[in-house]
Amino acid sequence: MPQHSKENILAGRKAVDVYRADHAKLYSKPWHRSIPQEHTPLLDKLQGELKEEGFKSLAEFFDASEELNKMEASKMYRREGECNRCGKCCRTCKYLLETGECAIYDDRPQVCIDSPFAMDYLGGLPKECTYRFVRTDYKSDLDVEWR
Ligand code: SF4
Ligand code: SF4
């Protein structure tokens, strides 16, 4: 179960959006190109608001927000197709052979079997990937691409 509610996360996103807008305004002034003193109150305000929503740190908030995106995206998209073993999603894994194959494919970890996930799809799959994602009927009111 997620540690933070959707309401807390959405309130946190609003606080971050306000912070980003205020930050952009501050840095749009040519004489504020370096880190100005005025930045600190903005950050303090944001951290205070996130704390009120139950987040101990910015990192904890962004992790929870991303977790919510993943859960929502997995309801919005259904994966279809088969893996062609191209190895393009395996990056620097120690089991990736020079040929691009997985040395332990038949015994690969569950996370490798389950990926790519819907969030990977939204982030862009390797063009070689032969999985596809199909939109389900699930209606989401969440911006799953919010970062
Ligand atoms: S173990 Fe997983 S990530 Fe590593 S090469 Fe095999 S399939 Fe790719
Ligand atoms: S990119 Fe897609 S097809 Fe290629 S190894 Fe990864 S999951 Fe399989």
The Cβ of residue 18 has, within 10 Å, a number of other Cβ atoms equal to 14
* pLDDT at position 31 over 80: no
Domain range for 34: 1-76
Give the pLDDT confidence of 52-70 residue by residue, as tens digits.
Answer: 999 999 999 999 999 999 9
Whether residues 91 and 40 fall in one domain: no
Alpha-carbon span 144 to 147, nearest angstrom? 8
* pLDDT at position 33 over 60: yes
| 117 found inside a domain | yes
Ligand 2 atom closest to the Cα of residue 84 is 3
Give the largest Cα separation in the chain, rounded.
Answer: 60
Query: What is the residue with the minimal CA distance to atom 8 of ligand 2?
Result: 83
Residue 34 confidence class, pLDDT cut points 50, 70, 90: low
Out of 34-43, 94-103, 135-144, pick the least confident.
34-43
**How buried is 80 (Cβ within 10 angstroms: 0-12 exposed, 13-18 middle, 19+ buried)?**
exposed
Q: Among 108, 111, 128, say which to mutate for ligand 1: greatest number of ligand atoms within 8 Å of CB.
A: 108
Q: Which of 76, 97, 119 is the last residue of a domain?
A: 76
